[in-house]
């Protein structure tokens, strides 16, 4: 049972345009959501997070939106840069402990 899903395995965007990565979850007990960026043969690096009490969090070019009623979150990157090309994982945390449940990842390719 996949509690966190990223339905788009890949996304291709032109440099300078907006990249929108989507993530859906089923467990209403998740209270904290995170996005990680991962390059090949490297560990994930934390990008941005959002608490379930908020609906938006912005950090530079990265904005995460949370729609609790739809159990949906998205990561917006604008403007997209070639260096943003990587696999992006969304992750969710339950309200006990720091265990994370990851989505399947979306490979973003930003074309120059």
Binding site for another protein (CB under 8 A): 9, 32, 34, 36, 41-46, 49, 89, 91, 93, 97-105
CB of 87 to another protein, least distance (A): 9
Nearer to another protein, 19 or 30 (CB): 30
CB of 61 to another protein, least distance (A): 18
Nearer to another protein, 15 or 68 (CB): 68
Nearer to another protein, 77 or 105 (CB): 105
Query: Can you give the chain as a three-state secondary structure string?
Result: CCCEECCCCEEEEECCCCEEEEEEECCCCCCEEEEEEECCCCCCEEEEEEECCCCEEEECCEEEEEECCCCEEEEEECCCCHHHCEEEEEEEECCCCCCEEECCCEEEEEEC
CB of 96 to another protein, least distance (A): 12
């Amino acid at each position: 049972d996949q509690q966190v899903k990223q339905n788009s395995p890949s996304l291709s965007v032109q440099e300078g345009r907006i990249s929108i990565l989507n993530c859906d979850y089923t467990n209403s007990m998740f209270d904290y959501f995170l996005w990680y960026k991962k390059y090949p043969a490297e560990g994930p690096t934390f990008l941005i997070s959002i608490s379930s009490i908020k609906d938006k969090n912005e950090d530079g070019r990265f904005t995460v939106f949370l729609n609790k009623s739809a159990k949906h979150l998205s990561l917006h990157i604008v403007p997209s840069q070639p260096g943003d090309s990587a696999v992006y994982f969304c992750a969710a945390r339950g309200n006990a402990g720091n265990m994370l449940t990851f989505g399947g990842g979306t490979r973003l390719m930003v074309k120059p």
